Amino acid sequence: MDRRGVGFTIVELIVAISVIAVLALISIVAYAKIHERAYNVRIIAGVKSYLNLLEIYKVRNGSYPETTPEKDKKMIAVVCLGKGYPDDYCGKVSGVRIYTDSLFNKSIEEIGSWSGVIHDQSLPSGPEVFTGAVYGNDILDTSLYDGSGYGRTIQHALYGSGVNCGVSGARSYRLTESPPVTACEILLESLPSP
């Protein structure tokens, strides 16, 4: 009795497993890219919404809204855009941990609101870490801007090295490779150094 025609040979089994593994890897990579694009779209949409609210606030009040750290005369006076972040924490900028701010949120809510956090995923960019986006007074890279080296900004990070920041007036100021991240900054106004 000849049994060679029944079942798979070892070589056929190895080939089948290899094909399945390659297809699984392609699916995982494709999913990761879709996830990164979705993250970037959500961040950009949130930043654009807040930028519009901030510009309306400035037109109505003659200046951008203050933050509690700014009122307390802190040099790095940056706060989370939005509320509802885990433990009210949304990252680290210029070595300072960033939290939500009720004074800022109350000012913005007079104009309109964004429903919740911009994003709840943490994204490192060199020494800084962004969860969503941040607003406030920070030290600037003087090679990118004229002026004192200090200004009111919106900052956010996007997946991908050298990606377009997605918002008119935004500039990339830091690129990291592992993971590939582009940190972006919108200068709303230059300020005198504190």
Q: What is the pLDDT of residues 63-95, one digit of tens each?
A: 999 999 998 988 889 999 988 888 999 999 888
Could you give the number of structural domains in the chain?
A: 1
By residue range, what is the domain housing residue 86?
Answer: 10-190
Residue 152 contacts residue 64 (beta carbons within 8 Å): yes
Q: What is the pLDDT of residues 127-141, one digit of tens each?
A: 888 888 999 988 776
Establish if 4 belongs to a structural domain: no
Establish if 5 belongs to a structural domain: no
Helices (H) and strands (E) in the chain, counts: 3, 9
Establish if 33 belongs to a structural domain: yes
pTM over the 0.85 mark:
no
Establish if 82 belongs to a structural domain: yes
